[in-house]
Amino acid sequence: MDKRIAISADSTCDLTEELIAENNVNRMFFHITVDGEDYIDSQTITAKDIERFYTEKKVLPKTSAANMSDYLNLFSDLRKQYDEVIHIGLSSGFSSTFQNAVLASRELDGVYCVDSHNLSSGCGLLVLKAADMIREGIGAKDIAERLNELRMNVHTSFILSDLSFLAAGGRCSAVTAFGANLLKIKPCIEVRQETGVMEVGNKYRGDFTTCAIKYIHDELDKYDNIDYSRLFFTSTTLEAKTEEAVLNELKSIGKFENIYRTSASCTITSHCGANCMGILFMTK
């Protein structure tokens, strides 16, 4: 008889509620602290709230990694219901949270942690791959090993309309942010699969919607072996004209079987700010 396998993922995987339900994904929700108040990521606070707090009060939210005890509680509950657990976590290159998950997994049998080397729906792509393999009857250990290989095929990038949040969080200087904003430079940030850290890619200049369309084609044109089964268009709060233009452009390409429109978690929004978007997909 096939073993019952549970999937868990950090709330930063940025899957829609429909995909969460369809694939039976359990989440570890991160916490957001704003002006001394504690909130649960995307449950008791929204990305629009994050933007509003910063615009009105210049208060930058603080994000909290889940601790070992949090993961131990989650994994213990899942092990009571399932034979094995696969956890796909936020890249260890961004946060200590993955190490906390690993420490918790060592307290239990049958729990396998996968460092996604990714964030947002880049991690979500691996979650869906895990769900596919569970349906195929593959065991948890083999799934974990395959995901460690497949993470090299995930391509995650996003384009920023300005650098205000990154500057406020100390991830770039205020002078750099001011200069980029003044010159209307829209940087593309890419996740390196080998290390799970971010680096600056192309730099665009001009109207954000126009830059976003150019960014899409630049990213897709890099590869001749794209897996067209799934693509995520994920963003923080986004202007309607940009969202409509990007969706129309992606649909006009006419190759992707599924284009998922998803919203970035509050944890992601807290670091990137408003009007930030990306496309996330895999190669074969």
pLDDT for 164 equals: 65
Range 244-256 average pLDDT: 97
| pLDDT(161) > 90 | no
| pLDDT(39) > 60 | yes
pLDDT for 175 equals: 33
pLDDT for 79 equals: 98
What is each CA distance from 237 to 38, 51, 268, 276, in whole angstroms?
21, 8, 11, 7
Range 164-186 average pLDDT: 51
| pLDDT(176) > 60 | no
**Is there a contact between 251 and 223 (Cβ–Cβ < 8 Å)?**
no
| pLDDT(173) > 50 | no
Round to whole Å and give the CA distance between 151 and 58: 36
Round to whole Å and give the CA distance between 62 and 54: 12
pLDDT for 163 equals: 67
Is residue 167 very low, low, confident or very high in pLDDT (cuts 50, 70, 90)?
Answer: low
* Residue 228, SS3 per DSSP: strand
Round to whole Å and give the CA distance between 61 and 236: 14
Choose the weakest-confidence range: 6-15, 163-172, 202-211, 239-248.
163-172
Q: What are phi and psi of 134, to 5 degrees?
A: -60, -40
Range 10-20 average pLDDT: 96
Query: Which are the contacts of 22, defined by CB distance < 8 A and separation ≥ 6?
Result: none
Round to whole Å and give the CA distance between 42 and 32: 9
pLDDT for 64 equals: 85
Range 77-102 average pLDDT: 95
Query: Which are the contacts of 172, defined by CB distance < 8 A and separation ≥ 6?
Result: 163, 166
Share of the chain above pLDDT 70, in %: 92
Q: Are strands 5-10 and 25-28 parallel, antiparallel or unpaired?
A: parallel
Question: For 223-247, what is each residue's pLDDT tens digit?
Answer: 999 999 999 999 998 999 999 999 9
pLDDT for 284 equals: 96
Contacts 24+ apart (CB under 8 A), 109-113: 109/79, 110/79, 110/83, 110/84, 110/85, 110/140, 111/75, 111/79, 111/84, 111/85, 111/87, 112/84, 112/85, 112/86, 112/87, 112/140, 112/141, 112/143, 112/144, 113/87, 113/89, 113/144
CB count in 10 Å sphere of residue 16: 15
Domains, in order of start, for the chain: 5-32+64-151 (3.40.50.10170), 154-283 (3.30.1180.10)
Question: For 190-222, what is each residue's pLDDT tens digit?
Answer: 999 998 888 888 989 889 999 999 999 999 999
Query: Which are the contacts of 163, defined by CB distance < 8 A and separation ≥ 6?
Result: 172, 176, 177, 180, 181, 187
More confident site: 161 or 232: 232
Mean pLDDT, the chain, whole residue set: 90
| pLDDT(172) > 90 | no
Round to whole Å and give the CA distance between 190 and 224: 19
pLDDT for 174 equals: 38
Burial category of 94 from C-beta neighbours within 10 Å (exposed 0-12, middle 13-18, buried 19 and up): buried
